[in-house]
Amino acid sequence: MRIWFGIALWKRVLGGLALGVLLALLWPGATPYVAFLGDLFVRAIRMLVAPIVLVTIAAGITALGDPKRLGKLGLRTILLFALTTAIAVSVGMIVASLVRPGVGAQLGAAAAQALGKPPTPYEQLIGIVPTNIFDALAKGDMLALIFVAIVIGAGTLVAGEAGRPFAVLLQSASEVLLKVVGIVMEAAPFGVFALIANAVAANGAAVFIHVGWLALAVVIGSVVQMLFVHSLLIRLLARLPVLPFFRGIVDALAIAFSTASSSATLPVAMRVAEGNLGIGRPVFQTVLPLGASIGKDGTAMYVGLLSLFALQAFGTPLTPEVYALVLLTGALAAFGTAPLPSASLFMLAAILSAVGIAPEQTALVVGFVLPFDRLLDMTRTVPSASANLAVATTIARWEGALDEATYRAKPVD
């Protein structure tokens, strides 16, 4: 036990990932027998997401002390996420234009898969205010929970002295939840082992045979977004060295890859934000849950890439007007995408319809991609997690809420 816990968690997680790939390649028939480990791990993480969003945002707001500071921090956060999201759509479109994964794709042989009617902007807007807080908790409705948390936190601040006991309760509850995250994360190597083994055994080889160019484009887009956009965010805006940032977020990236869910990555992101990056609690408690809902660089990159993939496959002329529409609708769709696996496919109809692609054609694209989307989704969730932590680090630096010694130090083994 001492040897096991003496190894850094990120090393154990990467070891579990490597062993999962080996099991899938050497003994794929055994992967169903370990699947329960991955299911239990994902359920434990998701169990924590809704209460963490509600409690930590409210606690973070009360810790800010000044309501004016909340407004400034929130505006900066939203603007930074809007910037990285728009750039991510552009990156996806550029990669698709260079790699051209859709040219010659045989979509006609795919089984059409319609994912239903996407919600209208009005439905998304009105859904932010829940009619029942407990129903929003039960459903894990992130935007509704963020709204409730902001209202509770702001109300606690405005209450002044009378709200101080409740603020202490929120801080205590937040502390307990983060400790529970630490306990759950000790099971991460086993969960990642099972999740990766089953994903690779199910369709890992098929991805490279049937949609190899698309998979390559997703990998290239993800790497470009992280190594160029996020690195520049850290280096130029936060004025910090880049290597400690990526070294400190390895745990969060591994969980993002294995669960393919920004929401499920949130508890781990909070843990590394405080322990490895030195981000102050009021900042990461406010920024990271917000980023889990709107900070979707991977999704934005993918919808831009997949939209051009579809247009290339259908032979649609790619005019400047088409590029502009994909950029605009892709950025807006990414902001409204749920932080769940394959959710970006649900928003594809909204983007393609804006450039004249019929719903029947969109269903063919979804049917072509869906069998392989799990591994593609795992890949594109990584830049979303990186974006969330890059924005949180930058905001913390601007707010004077970043411990630079902790940031520069190597994670403790």
Q: Is residue 278 in a domain?
A: yes
Q: How far, CA to CA in Å, does 390 sit from each of 249, 265, 281, 296, 303?
A: 10, 14, 15, 12, 21
- Neighbouring-strand partners of residue 279: 402
Q: Which amino acid is at 364?
A: L
Q: Is residue 413 part of a domain?
A: no
Ranges under pLDDT 50 in the chain:
111-112, 114-115, 207-208, 210
What's the CATH code of the domain at 227? 1.10.3860.10
pLDDT at res. 98 = 92
For 178-244, give the DSSP string. HHHHHHHHTTHHHHHHHHHHHHHHHHHHHHHHHSHHHHHHHHHHHHHIIIIIIHHIIIIIS---SHH
Looking at the whole model, is its pTM more than 0.75? no
Longest dimension (CA), the chain: 67
- Do residues 201 and 24 touch, judged by C-beta distance below 8 A? yes
Number of domains in the chain: 1
Residue 296 lies in a domain: yes
Q: Where are the beta strands (DSSP E) in 52-117?
A: none
Position 53 in a domain: yes
Helix H or strand E segment including 329: helix 320-335
**Domain presence at residue 340:** yes
Q: State pLDDT tens for residues 169-207.
A: 988 988 888 788 778 878 878 887 887 787 777 655 554
Q: How far is CA 212 from CA 207, 218, 257, 369, 407, in A?
A: 6, 10, 19, 11, 38
The whole-number pLDDT of residue 112 equals: 46
Domain that holds residue 310: 2-408
| Bridge partners, 402 (sequence order) | 279
User: Is 204 domain-assigned?
Assistant: yes
Helix (H, G, I), strand (E, B) or coil at 342: coil
pLDDT given at position 234 = 95
Length of the chain in residues, anyone? 413
233: Cβ–Cβ under 8 A, 6 or more apart, which residues?
80, 84, 390, 391, 394
